[in-house]
Structure 1
């Protein structure tokens, strides 16, 4: 073979950080598509030449350069040729920590000083070409959530300019959601939203969330005061518990209504639950959030304060909550609602380790309601029109009995 292969990108970065790197990407210098085919590689992709290794099936891309031709992340023309150097290929990458290569012998090729930025914990763009792809803002924010790295001052300024130039407005919903969903599942997802807010991108892609900063809350219940600060604390608590994506998204969006509460009811935010539904629906529609994320977020938005007051509720009110949440048919989703509510209660300054008995309490009441044999009741009803009412009465009695047993 008259070409050279290098491992590049995230695999090199994560190996240097001592982190697992299960997925490896490769770049090939000095090759033509014909040479790759002759060596047994299988072609994939349409935008630029990418091939699968005949044995490992890992992706090998020909070294290439890119030229910006239009707004957005689709507006590029790629040039792949045998004379494109490794340094030229690495120069088109987003961050210095992603612009390193490793030879077959294990030597690191680092023309843009990515190792220095790894040691310093900095996210820094490789070249001004960073500004040509708005997705890079989202990716950088996601890396901040994963590694806890800071953004270099010059990179923050470049991102702010990209937002001002309207590049972020060219992003399509599917790509925004893809990056946000990945970031939500990182170790410290709050860092992603802090980066996006600092550069102005959050106000463009999720203005409903961005509006929470600067909105005050009751200091006795929310010592952190600011709604935006609270929201990120709730999100990080959900991440700390290793909750799935729907719970984290619900944690992020549960208080959107507080940005719309009239000034005369601040900082109590009366009716913020119902006020939050419209902006939440708009956000989910714009981002095209998956159904499971959308449904749990709406449920959390509408019901979280009622869940917090679980011990005050009458048996009939509890049963109505179960029915609105479809808890009898979907107990697993109801458990996710309780997890999101627990994160909300503990995502406050000084409350991270506070008890949250409401979750176990409502779970026990749901078990009691589920114990009712609806089929047996139906068989005993002479009039089919009475079945639903009889089942509800039996479930309410079961909930009341469990409340009495628990002393509530």
Structure 2
């Protein structure tokens, strides 16, 4: 990692590397981004050095060369509901320890000075050694997003042996039962969930939220007797690289739900259209595999996938079939290719037009599927 020691723009500033970069270096985990905190400085001092302000709620600046974030040391006080309900104080009087105190977990509250010295007032290194996710202070409960973040960190680091400290899990339960989670923005909830779905142990995210009574606020459809089925469905992707993205894992997770439940969940989380659509298609494909490859079922599958206008959607689902039911891939590919050979132009040359053309296309495609399956 680069050091601010020789950066002329930082001369005279008290700068520390903080947060994830320090944590992941200590864990031997890949470090991709640096975050910095500047103690004892003012916004004017940063502007004079050419830094570009980007913080809307508190002073954060981008380095003009590296584009890394440099935030002025700050404290926060709860002043409303949800993630954004805080009053922020960023001044030259805020100490490094005061800045670290406002952070969520002890493993995220370690700072590294320019000479490599670690500042660790809340024993984050000890918790890294003991593989514990532990809150820094009772202020943890003031930000409901931290419930989701802690569950997400477990999804990332569980393979290293991490667990959530019992007192932290209890505090997460208190936050969940307080009703504060309902004030989070849906987009923010999905962002945390999407990140968790991309981690090594995504099931840990949902299991943790269930344990601390957070699941029922944003994912009530998962709670109603189908939670285990949903987790089992998500695990069907196994170690397949093709199905390891957050979108695929989400689609598998919600595939045991009814169509009404999936759509309700998509609306509540304000899912991107592509994610909601893929979830519909995954459920459709799993239903096909469950009922068997009859001509009518395959024809319905292709129609629901909008196969004739968007053939890529069929190809995507064939990837899923290859993982879930390999023997079916060859048969479905053959049926799909046979149906594609039915030419609208040839039917028009036979005299079909308008609605009659559409009917004839459907019948000929169905017949092509029947002949292939037989």
Residues in 2 aligned to 1:382 and 1:75: alpha-carbon distance in whole angstroms: 64
Alignment partners' CA distance in 1, 2:288 and 2:163: 39
State the alpha-carbon separation in 1 of the partners of residues 337 and 139 from structure 2: 58
Aligned to 1:138: 148
The question of 1:158 aligning with 2:171 is answered: yes
Partner of 1:194: 207
Q: 1:99 aligns with which of 109, 131, 136?
A: 109
Which stretch shows the higher mean deviation, 106-115 or 69-78? Answer: 106-115
1:38 aligns with 2:64: no
Correspondence for 1:247: 248
Please state if 1:380 is matched with 2:350: yes
Deviation at 1:239, TM superposition (A): 6.2
Structure 1 residues 333-342 or 167-176, which shifts more? Answer: 333-342
Does the alignment pair 1:322 with 2:305? no
The range that moved more, 39-48 or 369-378, is 369-378
Partner of 2:87: 77
SS in 1 for 2:363: helix
- Please name the residue that 2:363 is paired with: 393
Q: Distance in 2 between matches of 1:360 and 1:119?
A: 50
State how far apart, in whole Å, the 1-side matches of 2:337 and 2:369 are: 9
Partner of 2:278: 296
Offset at residue 401 of structure 1 (A):
3.1
Question: Per-residue displacement from partner, 1:135-194 (whole Å, max 9, x unpaired)?
Answer: 001111111111112110000010111112222122121111111111111121101001
- Corresponding residue for residue 170 of structure 1: 183
Q: Quote the Cα distance in structure 2 between the aligned partners of 1:384 and 1:164.
A: 59
* Separation (CA, whole Å) in 2 of partners of 1:119 and 1:99: 15
In structure 2, C-alpha distance between the alignment counterparts of 1:248 and 1:228, rounded to whole Å: 15
Q: What TM-score, normalized to structure 2?
A: 0.89
3-state SS, counterpart of residue 237 of structure 2? helix
Q: Deviations over 1:316-337 (max 9, x none)?
A: 4422221122123333323444
Structure 1 residue 379 displacement after superposition: 2.8
Cα displacement string for residues 34-67 of structure 1 (whole angstroms, at most 9, x for unaligned residues): 1111222122222111111121111100001111
Give the Cα separation in 1 of the matches to 2:301 and 2:101: 56
**Distance verdict in 2 for CA 1:154–1:122, change over 3 Å:** same
Once the two structures are superposed, the pairs formed by residues 299-310 of structure 1 within 5 Å of their partners are 299-302=281-284, 304-310=286-292
For 1:18-29, list aligned pairs within 5 A.
Answer: 18-29=28-39
Distance 1:42 1:384, change over 3 A: closer
Structure 1 partner of 2:75: 65
Partner of 2:373: 403
Q: Distance in 1 between matches of 2:195 and 2:128?
A: 21
Q: Deviations over 1:330-361 (max 9, x none)?
A: 33323444555677x5xxxxxxxxx5422443
CA 1:383–1:373: 2 relative to 1, 3 Å: closer
Distance in 2 (alpha carbons) for counterparts of 1:203 and 1:171: 14
Bigger Cα displacement from structure 2, 331-340 vs 191-200: 331-340
Structure 2 distance, partners of 1:92, 1:383, is: 70
CA gap 1:373/1:54 in 2 versus in 1, 3 angstroms: same
Report the CA distance shift for 1:397/1:161 in structure 2 as closer, same or farther (over 3 A): same
Whether the 8 Å CA contact 2:176–2:214 is kept in 1: the answer is: yes
SS of alignment partner, residue 23 of structure 1: coil
Does 32-41 or 364-373 show the bigger shift?
364-373
Matching of residues 275-354 of structure 1 within 5 Å? 276-302=258-284, 304-311=286-293, 313=294, 315-339=295-319
Question: 1:217 aligns to what?
Answer: none
Correspondence for 2:7: none
Q: CA deviation at 1:126?
A: 0.7
Aligned to 1:358: 328
SS at match of 2:50: coil
CA distance in 2, matches of 1:145, 1:239: 15
Which is worse superposed, 183-192 or 234-243? 234-243
Shift of 1:17: 1.7
Structure 1 residue 383: Cα displacement:
4.2
Structure 2 unaligned residues grouped into runs of 5+? 1-10
Q: What is the number of residues matched between the two proteins?
A: 359
For structure 1, list consecutive stretches of 5 or more residues without a partner in the other structure. 213-226, 257-275, 346-354
Distance in 1 between residues matched to 2:130 and 2:215, nearest whole Å: 26
Calculate the TM-score normalised by the size of structure 1: 0.82
Structure 1 Cα separation of the partners of residues 220 and 355 of structure 2 = 48
Q: 278-287 or 241-250: which moved more? A: 241-250
| Alpha carbons 1:31, 1:81 under 8 Å: kept | yes
SS of equivalent to 1:196 = helix
CA offsets per residue over residues 67-91 of structure 1, 9 Å max, x none?
1111211110111111211111111
